[in-house]
Amino acid sequence: MPRPITPEDLWRFKRVGQPEHIPNTTTAVVPIVTYDVENESHSVLHVVDRNGATRQLTSSQRHASAPAPSPEGGHVAFLSKSGDEKPQVHVMPLDGGEARCVTDLPLGARFVTWVPGRNALIVAASVMRDHPSVEATAEIVEENADKKRPIVTEDRVFRHWKKWLAGHHVDHLFRVDLADDVVTDLTPDLDRLIGLDELENSLTVTPDGGMVIFTLDAADPAWDRIRFSLHTVSTDGGEILRLATGESAQQTRPRVSPDGSILIYGAQYEPDYYADHVRLVEHHLATSTEQILTEHWDRSAAGWEFINDSCIVLNAEDEGHVRLYTLDIEGGGPVPQTSTGSNHGARPGVDCFWHRHESMQEPPEIAITAGGHTKKVTGFNDEALADLALAHAEEIRFEASEGAQIQAFIVEPPGFDNTRKWPLLHNVHGGPHNGVMDSWHWRWNTQVMAAAGYVVVSVNFHGSSSFGDAFARSIHGAWGDMPARDIEAATDHMLSTGYVDEDRMAIAGGSYGGYLVSWLTTLTDRYAASICHAGVTDLLGQWASDHTAGRDKAVGGVPWEDMDAVQRWSPMAHTHGIVTPTLVIHGELDYRVVLTQGLVLYGALKAKGVPARLVYYPDEGHWIETRENALHWWGEFHTWLDRWLV
């Protein structure tokens, strides 16, 4: 008999990573991550064929990730480590044999790809900003292994998510010649960022193997606003040159056609606005002439790859789904190839696309799409899922602020009966320019929320992505306006169904979702409980965030010019109305929404006599990432709701 899903089940599932097609075959290599009860993760590479047969490639004793099959399909390069080691680049034959470590970089490697036509790799790896050679970095690392150095900076951008940038690391590009494992720094004088998070979107090597095209922060001054533009360096080293592209605020994910003539990259044109939709630009490398391919497409392109010299595959968020599209660069608009769930990370194979497919009721698995038809080819979690009673996510539309039709997803609890009254839980997404997709969420999992007995509603309110540029921009300078009205309209809609108990309703959200939760509690007492995780509560205090460029656009002003505009939509400026019992959760290492945002809300609630509980994680950042802490988080989450709604 299937049972309700639990938080522990989330950590029993195998987490299926990005498939990489192996050239000249009908197979792909994919990393599979598992967790043990000691909170250790293990990532193992598997080879998967299009009929679903799988073969383990790497040892379970080491952590293998970021596979990169060689152009001829005979070998795979990947990152590997054991325990507390730094990840190093390894290479192994795909038909069996031992992996060989080919780097010994003091801070480890971050990304690896092949140099076509040459027995060599391009590796991105960090060095110390003030001691940028591998040798000098190794000395500093050894000298400071057991102590923390003071950090002194004049940079505007000096932290990112949960790591310090100032006084710490910068990435360089290295060539590793596999004949003798000699490592050559191609960018020895580089002191700027080539990327921030995953470097997959930051670089590529031309098909002739002669040049690396990569993103580089070209802002003046450096480390001020972060403006990535495309640059080149020879795979033999030499001068870094800025590519003659058109002017834009950000340029990302360079990809070159198989014949080497055309570069496709993503461009955002509005500075200091991370949700400006990404257009695809076609750049002819011989002439530097360009044209925008998706200027009139009101969706944001992502994950593009060349299928052949004139066609690409990409994915984009579209009304709560992530769909695959093909685009003929010689004319025409994007053509959808998938319809249901969320599909991303497409890699062209033999007459098909390899990608991940997921939905709110199924964790990611490897799928192939051919001719507009999608087939799941792996079932790494089928056995575990067979024991669980997962609910279908119902997609609804309702009228909300400004008369707009707003989308939401509803996940009902096990044994749901619409003749009974049920407690309601709003799952409020962050961003604000993100969205609730029909996809599996490893942290804010709506199935686990619903399994505790709640009707869970996830609203794509004004400002959400996947509904067009104007919809996303509509909340500029008024964070708490239409999104709050949309949530309230969703609540009214759910009450109209007759099966929601108006005395047992709660709101929970993280990041901007935490902001919207705290803002709503200043407006209404209709919710019996709220949960604010990593929430923005004081808009003035967010000038301590890791990235402050564009904050004036988001909140409506800057404090040295118009304090009233900043405070207009700031929850802490309106706390006189808060009476809702609130669980406040925050991590010490959260540099995006700093710890004091949670502490000031908790302090004010306790001083007012409002029931409140603080959960503080000294070793977590914006997200709760370790198994032990995540299970504790879920315990606090459910206990707080049960306390006020049951």
184 assigned to some structural domain: no
Q: What DSSP string describes 334-378?
A: -EE---SSEEEEEEE-SSSEEEEEEETTEEEEEEEEETTEEEE--
pLDDT band at 129 (very low <50, low <70, confident <90, very high): confident
Q: For position 145, what pLDDT does the model report?
A: 64
Count Cβ atoms below 10 Å from residue 3 Cβ, excluding itself: 11
Q: How far apart are CA 381 and CA 398, in angstroms?
A: 35
pLDDT tens sequence across 183-225: 999 999 999 999 988 899 999 999 999 999 999 999 989 899 9
225 assigned to some structural domain: no
297 assigned to some structural domain: no
Of 40 and 351, the one with more pLDDT: 351
pLDDT tens sequence across 276-306: 999 999 999 999 999 999 999 999 999 999 9
Count Cβ atoms below 10 Å from residue 591 Cβ, excluding itself: 22
Number of structural domains the chain divides into: 1
Put the strands of the sheet holding 279-284 in their side by side order.
Answer: 250-256, 262-268, 279-284, 290-292
Q: How far apart are CA 551 and CA 532, in angstroms?
A: 21
pLDDT tens sequence across 324-373: 999 999 989 999 999 999 999 999 999 999 999 999 999 999 999 998 89
pLDDT band at 110 (very low <50, low <70, confident <90, very high): very high
pLDDT over 70 percentage in the chain:
100
Chain CA centroid to CA 524, Å? 32
152 assigned to some structural domain: no
Q: For position 146, what pLDDT does the model report?
A: 65
What's the domain range around 423?
Answer: 391-645
Q: For position 293, what pLDDT does the model report?
A: 97
CA gyration radius, the chain: 25
384 assigned to some structural domain: no
16 assigned to some structural domain: no
364 assigned to some structural domain: no
Smallest CA-to-CA distance from 385 within 9, 26, 8, 124 is with 9
Q: Is the pLDDT of residue 405 over 90?
A: yes
CATH number for the domain including 490?
Answer: 3.40.50.1820
Contact indicator for 61, 70 with CB cutoff of 8 Å: no
